[in-house]
Amino acid sequence: MKTAFFNTKPYDRRFFDKANESHRHELHYFEPHLDETTLPLADGYKAICVFVNDQLNEHLISRLAKMGVRLIALRCAGYNNVDLAAAARHGIMVARVPAYSPYAVAEHTLALLLALNRKVHKAYNRVRDGNFSLDGLLGFDIHGLTVGVIGTGKIGVIVTRILKGFGCEILAHDPYPNPEYEKLGARYASIDEIYSSSQVITLHCPLNPDTYHLIDETAIEKMQPGVTLINTSRGALVDAKAVISGLKSGKIGHLGLDVYEEEEDIFFEDLSGLVIQDDVFARLNTFPNVIITGHQGFFTKEALANIAETTLENLTEYEKTGTCSNQIAHTPPSK
């Protein structure tokens, strides 16, 4: 199927071209995000393929529908960037890649935690600079800590399994308990118990109206002093300004972020020659006890191969049957 790919990088093309050897779709790659100015590029395509930071609002979707687009294939798991109600109204199917490598994101979560608690980011620079002093590098054991896992889906369960291996006690919160989590011998707890009992809190729930700014000033207030907070899920789960206050007061001892609320104007691009205009992000980036990575949790070769394969399977299935097993159903809010 003739498909317009937005927001593509050379690595996307490499993995999609390889996967397409067996699918044989007509793939056209465009570098820019999908937005008002680049929208005309979608003209003449029945399907478009977009990524996490392409914002598909009602206006854009209605114009895509008028151009004849019938399928939006997300090459990611999260879909908070698409107005599903608008897509349903305009007769556009939205499909995604529900799982590609939950290990990639779970392992990146651990990478952030381990780098933070042993200050690997500082040690690396010191040793490169011939400074072998240990002053200021004092860490803490992960073994024996209580870790709060918010969201026990595919990624949260793997994070739990890994942390159980470290000898942590895990408390989790999820409105939909997962038997896979319970099998690991970990228990569910209220969100308040997680805040008050955990030395480490890690977020693995989707971004939706219920979870927007889940970690705000009130939540931080309830946490243990010196808590380590990790977010590899979606940026807007965390109120960045509240987190900055928490870091300044010492309430938050360490912060690891792979996602940021306003990341769409920053991440995935080389801005090293420019001045960052986002003051909140710039402030976050100054703390010695903060590590930010640019939404790379998914970025392993296994995950990229799976993303490409599943996205092309979605196109193939839609082309052959007019349906797609990985369609995201729009459920209207109950009255």
Q: Which of 78, 184, 305, 316 lies at the binding interface for ligand NAI (CB under 6 A)? A: 78
Q: Quick check: is 295 catalytic?
A: yes
Closest by CA to 85, choosing from 63, 43, 50, 56, is: 56
Using rule CB under 6 A, residue 193 touches ligand NAI: no
* 294 in contact with ligand NAI (CB under 6 A): no
Position 204 contacts ligand NAI (CB under 6 A): yes
Residue 181 and residue 160 in contact, taking contact as beta carbons nearer than 8 Å: yes
Say whether 180 is catalytic.
no
Nearer CB in complex with ligand NAI: 16/298: 298
Least distance to ligand NAI, CB of residue 214, Å: 7
Please state the φ and ψ torsions of residue 199, each to the nearest 5 degrees: -90, -20
Asked if 228 and 117 count as a contact pair (C-beta separation under 8 A), the reply is yes
Catalytic residue of the set 108, 254, 261, 263: 263
Please report whether residue 295 would count as binding ligand NAI according to CB under 6 A: yes
Q: How far is the CA of 206 from the CAs of 1, 39, 76, 305, in angstroms?
A: 30, 27, 13, 23
Interatomic CA distance for residues 232 and 204, integer angstroms:
7
Say which residue the tokens 């003209």 belong to. Answer: 43
For ligand NAI, which residue of 71, 73, 147, 150 counts as binding (CB under 6 A)?
150
State the nearest-atom distance from the C-beta of 250 to ligand NAI, in Å.
27
Alpha helices of 50-90 — where are they, by DSSP H?
A: 58-67, 84-89
Identity of the residue, 20 or 101, whose beta carbon is nearer to ligand NAI in the bound complex: 101
273 lies in the site for ligand NAI, by CB under 6 A:
no
Interaction between residue 110 and ligand NAI (CB under 6 A): no
Contact call for residue 159 and ligand NAI (CB under 6 A): no
Give the separation between CA 117 and CA 215, rounded to whole angstroms.
21
Cα–Cα dist 118/254, whole Å: 11
Which one, of 92, 8, 38, 239, lies nearest residue 82 by Cα?
92
User: Is position 230 an interface residue for ligand NAI (rule: CB under 6 A)?
Assistant: no
> What is the token pair recorded at 160?
């739990």
Residue with tokens 């309830």: 222
Give residues 14-73 in contact with ligand NAI (rule: CB under 6 A): none
Find the binder of ligand NAI among 259, 266, 291, 307 (CB under 6 A).
259
* Nearer of residues 65 and 162 to ligand NAI, judged by Cβ: 162
Nearer to ligand NAI, 77 or 255 (CB): 77
Q: What type of residue is 6?
A: F
Interaction of residue 149 with ligand NAI, rule CB under 6 A: no
Q: Which residues bind ligand NAI (CB under 6 A)?
A: 77-78, 102, 105, 150-156, 173-176, 178, 204-207, 210-211, 232-234, 258-259, 295, 297-298
